[in-house]
């Protein structure tokens, strides 16, 4: 079995690096420091023009919880329609009820819209905020989703590895479970070994220095991070993560 990598790409440059490094596909998003939000129409359109590998687009209109208003739901539907019209391969979505269960009627509507547009669907890490992740998984399967992205109800996939392994076992091939959250070349082998996952999810980012010569260091534009550093996916990190993950498979064959 070959382990594949889905890269969470926060820019066109990140998407190009992911493809160069051998990623199976990308999840395109913005604002990774907030857990990811929907990328702009231009971001989606230009990335689609430049990439040959599949593009899955995160549809999350804001940071915070996954309990959406009527207007926010309409935004998600409008964004989904745009993705379908511009050659995207899948959308990454998830809506919850206030009691921590999957909002089945709204999710069903989105899945049907995606299918009509020829796109697949991932239920994202909203599952990690569910009251019962196993019951949520059954709902997600029933709704017709193709993938689940999860950290096993914990901050990182390694912390949630035990629950991810249980999800994969209970899914029994009915849906693809993708571990994500803090995945790197330093833990990819262990994550694959402990969970039995066949694909993993990582941003594979590095922080590069800005090319700006003049710098006003007296201002912060909204986060604690400097405006003179940019987080981008690194092709070498992508290669390393894939290599380490697949070394785990080779090791398991030898034992």
**Which pLDDT belongs to residue 63?**
96
The more confident residue out of 117 and 222 is 117
Cα 63-126-154 angle, rounded to 5 deg: 100
Q: What is the pLDDT of residues 191-217, one digit of tens each?
A: 999 999 999 999 999 999 888 899 888
Residue 247, classed as helix, strand or coil, is: helix
Query: In this model, does residue 247 exceed pLDDT 50?
Result: yes
Average pLDDT in the 44-65 region?
Answer: 98
Written as six digits, the tokens of 153 are 């109800």
Q: In CATH, what number is assigned to the domain containing residue 145?
A: 3.20.20.380
Q: What is the pLDDT of residues 214-246, one digit of tens each?
A: 988 888 777 667 788 889 999 999 999 999 999
Please count the structural domains in the chain.
Answer: 1
Closest CA to 14 of 203, 226, 223: 203
Are the C-beta atoms of residues 184 and 202 closer than 8 Å to each other? yes
Closest CA to 199 of 180, 178, 182: 178
Are the C-beta atoms of residues 59 and 69 closer than 8 Å to each other? no
Q: Identify the domain containing residue 13 by its residue range.
A: 4-254
Separation of alpha carbons 229 and 225, rounded Å:
8
Average pLDDT in the 144-171 region?
Answer: 98
**Which pLDDT belongs to residue 255?**
44
């Amino acid at each position: 079995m070959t382990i594949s990598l889905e890269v969470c790409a926060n820019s066109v440059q990140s998407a190009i690096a992911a493809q160069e490094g051998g990623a199976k596909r990308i999840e395109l998003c913005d604002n990774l420091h907030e857990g990811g939000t929907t990328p702009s129409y231009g971001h989606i359109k230009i990335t689609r023009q430049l990439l040959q590998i599949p593009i899955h687009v995160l549809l999350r209109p804001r940071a915070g919880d996954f309990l959406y208003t009527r207007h926010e739901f309409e935004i998600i539907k409008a964004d989904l329609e745009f993705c379908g019209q511009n050659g995207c391969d899948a959308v990454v979505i998830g809506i919850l009820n206030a009691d921590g269960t999957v909002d089945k009627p709204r999710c069903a509507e989105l899945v049907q819209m995606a299918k009509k547009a020829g796109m697949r669907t991932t239920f994202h890490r909203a599952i990690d905020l569910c009251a019962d992740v196993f019951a949520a998984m059954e709902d997600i399967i029933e709704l017709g989703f193709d993938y689940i992205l999860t950290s096993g109800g914990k901050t990182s996939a390694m912390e949630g590895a035990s629950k991810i392994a249980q999800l994969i076992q209970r899914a029994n091939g009915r849906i693809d479970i993708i571990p994500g959250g803090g995945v790197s070349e330093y833990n990819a082998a262990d994550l694959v070994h402990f969970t039995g996952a066949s694909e993993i999810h990582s941003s594979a980012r590095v922080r590069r220095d800005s090319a700006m010569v003049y710098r006003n260091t007296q201002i912060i534009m909204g986060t604690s991070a400097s405006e003179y550093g940019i987080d981008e996916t690194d092709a070498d990190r992508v290669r390393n993560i894939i290599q380490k993950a697949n070394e785990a498979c080779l090791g398991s064959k030898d034992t």
